[in-house]
Amino acid sequence: MRRDHRPYWMHALWEAVENAWAEQFLAPHFEALGPHPKIVRPWNVEVFGPNVRAGRAIHIISRRDQPVSFTVWSPQDAPGRIDIGDCCFFAGGVRILAAQAITIGDGALIARNATLSDSDWHDLYDRIDPRPASAPIVIGRNVWIGDGAFVGKGVTIGDNSVIAARAVVTKDIPANTVAAGIPAAPVKDLDPDGPYKTRMDMLGDPEGLNAFMENAYKDALKGNSTLGWLRSKLFPRRGD
């Protein structure tokens, strides 16, 4: 499809269903979930284990073939946790796996199929140890983790830094740094004074942003009809 053929009422209904599903079936699995979440296809998001907390305006985009998972798996006497700041974004296929602690700062962007894991989950020799090696991960504010990147145990990534696609991060990355490679290493310094434009700026007024997006959808879908949408599904034409 080259454009969205849905009439506006269909978009509004779909969004209402997603919001209701997220509130009814997904939110109870978080220890805490801040206001104004936007979760696309929330039935493809899994929260497993205790102590998963997220701040306001979390944004998750999932698909059936790209589920998003937040998993805490640790002994009962040493419970792990995942703490997500405000206005963070998670694309399809992201996996956050905590045995001890993963902290993600405000405004972080985690791209498609990225993985954060604070544990090896199995020892090189003892593959049945219930307490394999683990160490906390700390992701700073406004960090961007690229497509398919991996962040391992004990890593701290400083504010504003960028992790390139497919990078494997095994050591700390300073603030205001672009890192790439396997293992990841700094390749460029960023100006600490920016000026940066962040998701915190965009979502500073979530109600105003929602109103803006609704008006944008009304304008984009103006003139679409239910019959036209059915025709595009049943009898698609070149240019649809």
CA pair distance 142, 204, nearest whole angstrom: 14
Average pLDDT for 12-22: 96
User: Looking at per-residue confidence, does 129 or 158 come out higher?
Assistant: 158
Contact 61, 91 (CB under 8 A): yes
> Where do the DSSP E strands lie in 44-133?
45-48, 52-54, 59-61, 68-72, 81-84, 89-90, 95-98, 101-104, 109-110, 115-117
- Could you identify the residue written with the tokens 């998993």? 71
Average pLDDT for 54-65: 96
- Could you identify the residue written with the tokens 């990841």? 184
- For the chain, what are the domain ranges? 1-30+205-240, 32-197
* Residue pLDDT, tens place only, 82-107: 999 999 999 999 999 999 999 999 99
Cis status of the peptide bond prior to 174, with omega within 30 of 0: no
Average pLDDT for 153-176: 98
Contact 81, 72 (CB under 8 A): yes
What would the two tokens of residue 65 be? Answer: 């073939």
Which pLDDT band, with edges at 50, 70 and 90, does 239 fall under? confident
CATH number of the 32-197 domain: 2.160.10.10
**Per-residue pLDDT at 79:** 82
Average pLDDT for 108-122: 96
What would the two tokens of residue 89 be? Answer: 């974004």
